[in-house]
Structure 1
Amino acid sequence: MTTTTLASTTRLNPVRRTLPVLLALEDEAEDLGRLSPDDRLTCHVHGRWIHQCVASPVHVNPITRHRWCRSCATALTVSVDELSGAVTMSCPRCGHGESAASARLITACRASLAAARGGTAARAA
């Protein structure tokens, strides 16, 4: 199964989409295999922008290393500054905990912030 990024599916114009509309579009695109769950701007579990609920324990996954420090076996803490658009995740024990999965989640949160405030949701591929 090949998945594509949001740029080629639901993110045609997220500025013009309300949260409920984008949630539905992303659900459908994910179900059809056209959108990776890591590339969503919305959360299908909480029904919110991903940056608004990323700190929830539901978003910690030790297997995929989303918000997880393997060496400390600890959930990463999350900081989302809605004014500046800054999103960070770090291990409360060692201060690190970087992973490709968490990096994608940070990218999704930044794009979610931009879309929620009506800006562009540009992302790195």
Structure 2
Amino acid sequence: MIVNLIATLVEEDLAEDNGALAPDDRLTCHVHGRWIYQCVSSPVHVNRVTRHRWCRGCDAELGVVIDELTGEVAMRCPRCGRGGSAATARLIAACRASIEARRAA
């Protein structure tokens, strides 16, 4: 499994550098060297400007819940219970895809 992670990290780094992969669509995290779902709860993955894991209305960081068994990923504002954005939706999709990629490894 670790070999597939490393290969995917390298492949995604190259694709991102060449403009063939958007950073939001990565299954791996180049900062943490992990599958994105394994580190998405880190403060590094919160961005107020792009609204990744951020509720603009409440000015709050979204909480993260990941169920590796079912593949469910949820990000919600601890204040209003919402906080969704297009950026967070893409991050959720990447997390779900990374869970599947790890399972396939």
Normalised TM-score (structure 2)? 0.96
Matching residue within 92, 100, 105 for 1:114: 100
Task: Report whether the alignment pairs 1:45 with 2:31.
Answer: yes
Q: Which runs of 5+ in 1 are unaligned?
A: 1-14, 120-125
Give the equivalent residue in structure 1 for 2:22.
36
Percent identity of paired positions between Structure 1 and Structure 2: 65
CA offsets 1:29-80 (integer angstroms, 9 cap, x no match): 0001110000000000000000000000000000000000000010000000
SS in 1 for 2:74: strand
| Residues in 1 aligned to 2:96 and 2:17: alpha-carbon distance in whole angstroms | 23
Residue identity in the other structure for 2:49: I
Two-structure CA RMSD over aligned residues (Å): 1.3
Moved over 4 A (4+): none
Task: Report whether the alignment pairs 1:61 with 2:16.
Answer: no
SS in 1 for 2:104: coil
> What is the count of residue pairs matched by the alignment?
104
Q: Which runs of 5+ in 2 are unaligned?
A: none
Give the equivalent residue in structure 2 for 1:94.
80
Higher relative contact order (CA 8 A, sep 6+): 2
Residue identity in the other structure for 1:88: A
| Residues in 2 aligned to 1:88 and 1:27: alpha-carbon distance in whole angstroms | 26
| Residues in 1 aligned to 2:81 and 2:97: alpha-carbon distance in whole angstroms | 24
Shift, 1:106, TM fit: 0.2
Normalised TM-score (structure 1)? 0.81
